[in-house]
């Protein structure tokens, strides 16, 4: 399948680079007029997931997977909800374990490769609803979870799951992790680490002795955090082992439904391997679009409530 050309070139004048295109929307963007109905479901390991529904009586459903330390209230999730609802499509945003305002029960959290929880959500939808078509969307880490789910399920994905689309997604997690080692990306490093440290501290209080809380304040980067905490909790040898095993690039061959990957070339959090050009060129189901602009989850369109990525996902998922 040829790599798709992109029509996005409308970043606001003052958004001078990928960092500004990333940071400004993350801080200032608000999406009003979205409300949820929450449902709590059980997992097979005696934990729970919080699902936030926005129903408009549609016959089709979009399932959204959020980014690292995000939840259903993030602007990118609410925007997809509002856009798809306006077109008569129901939306379900699921919150990863410990996200969405409630600490989970088991001594694990979540990560880029934890597609089992997305499978739990899909199976719950299949068993409790009667939609005619199902779509998946993932943003950043949620995109990685979506690709991992599709690749691992392979031909066994539900027949009503018609298409998927992800954006700003670390398709190759090791190279994405490497971007956080760059001095210029210190802002993102500290932003995410601060949130994850607080969550890990809460997990340590929940399970005394499970992790080394004394070391936590000394952690300076993601390699240290993922080696001593993420890997330890989730059964990986170290950070490198986690990045490789949780990376979607190892599962792209298993994807059997049409899937859009939309990654901006100036995304400060994606390495060069996160743009699988050679794979997309020989694939019949992977559609790769690489706008020159957009940053990480930015894609701002001047004077528009919705950004380019959201409009593009809607177009791809709903077109015949």
Q: Which two tokens stand for residue 181?
A: 């080692």
Taking alpha carbons only, the member of 188, 150, 136, 145 closest to residue 170 is: 145
Beta bridge mates, 159: none
Measure CA 212 to chain center: 28
User: Residue 287 in contact with residue 316, Cβ under 8 Å?
Assistant: yes
Q: Which two tokens stand for residue 300?
A: 């701002």
Q: Residue 85: its pLDDT value, please?
A: 98
| CATH tag, 18-172+257-315 | 3.40.50.1820
Show pLDDT as tens, one digit a residue, over the chain (320 residues). 679 999 998 788 889 899 999 999 999 999 999 999 999 999 999 999 999 999 999 999 999 999 999 999 999 999 999 999 999 999 999 999 999 999 999 999 999 999 999 999 999 999 999 999 999 999 999 999 999 999 999 999 999 999 999 999 999 999 999 999 999 999 998 899 999 999 999 999 999 999 999 999 999 999 999 999 999 999 999 999 999 999 999 999 999 999 999 999 999 999 999 999 999 999 999 999 999 999 999 999 999 999 999 999 999 999 98
Q: Which two tokens stand for residue 189?
A: 């490093």
Q: Is the dihedral of CA 112, 117, 119, 124 positive or negative?
A: negative
Taking alpha carbons only, the member of 259, 228, 221, 261 closest to residue 242 is: 228
Taking alpha carbons only, the member of 233, 230, 253, 254 closest to residue 243 is: 230
Q: Residue 1: its pLDDT value, please?
A: 61
Segments making up each domain of the chain, as ranges: 18-172+257-315, 174-246
Q: Residue 10: its pLDDT value, please?
A: 78
Helix axes 308-318, 75-86, angle to 10 degrees: 40
pTM, rounded to two decimals: 0.97
């Amino acid at each position: 399948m040829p790599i798709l050309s992109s029509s996005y070139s409308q970043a606001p004048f003052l958004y001078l680079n990928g960092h500004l295109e990333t940071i400004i929307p993350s801080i200032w963007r608000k999406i009003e007029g979205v409300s949820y109905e929450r449902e709590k479901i059980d997992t097979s390991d005696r934990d729970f997931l919080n699902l936030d529904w926005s129903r408009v009586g549609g016959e089709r459903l979009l399932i959204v997977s959020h980014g690292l330390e995000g939840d259903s209230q993030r602007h990118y999730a609410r925007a997809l909800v509002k856009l798809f609802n306006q077109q008569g499509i129901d939306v379900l945003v699921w919150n990863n374990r410990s996200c969405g305002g409630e600490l989970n029960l088991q001594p694990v959290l979540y990560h880029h490769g934890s597609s089992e929880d997305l499978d739990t959500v899909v199976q719950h939808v299949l068993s409790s609803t009667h939609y005619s078509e199902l779509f998946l969307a993932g943003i950043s880490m949620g995109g990685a979870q979506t690709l991992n789910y599709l690749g691992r399920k392979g031909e066994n994905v539900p027949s009503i799951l018609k298409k998927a689309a992800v954006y700003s997604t670390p398709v190759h997690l090791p190279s994405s992790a490497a971007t956080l080692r760059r001095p210029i990306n210190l802002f993102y490093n500290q932003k995410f680490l601060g949130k994850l440290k607080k969550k890990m501290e809460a997990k340590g209080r929940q399970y005394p002795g499970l992790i080394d809380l004394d070391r936590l304040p000394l952690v300076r980067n993601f390699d240290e955090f993922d080696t001593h905490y993420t890997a330890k909790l989730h059964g990986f040898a170290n950070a490198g082992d986690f990045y490789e095993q949780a990376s979607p690039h190892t599962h792209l061959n298993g994807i059997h439904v049409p899937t859009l990957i939309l990654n901006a070339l100036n995304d400060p959090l994606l390495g060069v391997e996160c743009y699988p050009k050679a794979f997309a060129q020989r694939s019949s189901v992977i559609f790769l679009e690489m706008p020159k602009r957009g940053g990480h989850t930015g894609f701002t369109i001047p004077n528009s409530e919705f950004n380019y990525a959201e409009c593009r996902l809607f177009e791809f998922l709903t077109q015949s």
